[in-house]
């Protein structure tokens, strides 16, 4: 997993609406990146639903939140619509897992991201990172709030 103090690797990925989103779009803002394994798994839908419930509180603390998985933009769009998500979901589809790999979040033998959180500060430096012990464990919203508090 990428370590705090490391320059966050740049990326440009498509979101659920096929718009390009880059790390540089968040310059001057704290960015929480939630890597997750797959759309429509029960654990992933629970995780994203939890984060959706607290998205306003995250933004009140001066941060933006995005989700990244290896699924396609079409899968992301369907998931966003089904769950009523406002969280942008970015597709790390091709080359598969390239961004997750750059952040140390890819489980190579499985071909998908581990459930991981990365907080990038306003200057583009990783301020916090954590990987769940297994893809079945959800990093709670409290982990995000604690990281934002510690880096304020």
Torsion of CA 63, 118, 125, 108, to 10 degrees: -150
Catalytic-residue membership of 64: no
Active-site entry in 23, 34, 44, 66: 44
Burial zone of 112 (CB within 10 Å; 0-12 exposed, 13-18 middle, 19+ buried): buried
| Sign, CA torsion 16/17/18/24 | negative
Cα 75 to Cα 81, 88, 96, distances in angstroms: 10, 13, 15
Active-site amino acid positions: 44
């Amino acid at each position: 997993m990428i370590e705090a103090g490391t320059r966050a690797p740049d990326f440009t990925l498509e979101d659920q609406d096929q718009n390009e989103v880059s790390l540089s779009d968040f310059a001057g803002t704290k960015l929480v990146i939630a890597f997750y394994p797959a759309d429509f798994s029960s654990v992933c839908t629970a995780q994203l639903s939890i984060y959706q419930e607290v998205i306003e509180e995250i933004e009140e603390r001066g941060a933006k939140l995005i989700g990244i998985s290896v699924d396609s933009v079409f899968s992301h769009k369907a998931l966003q619509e089904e769950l009523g998500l406002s969280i942008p979901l970015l597709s790390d589809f091709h080359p598969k897992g390239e961004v997750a790999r750059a952040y140390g979040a890819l489980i190579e033998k499985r071909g998908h991201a581990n459930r991981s959180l990365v907080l990038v500060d306003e200057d583009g430096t990783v301020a916090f990172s954590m990987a769940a012990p297994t893809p079945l464990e959800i990093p709670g919203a409290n982990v995000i709030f604690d990281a934002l508090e510690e880096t304020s």
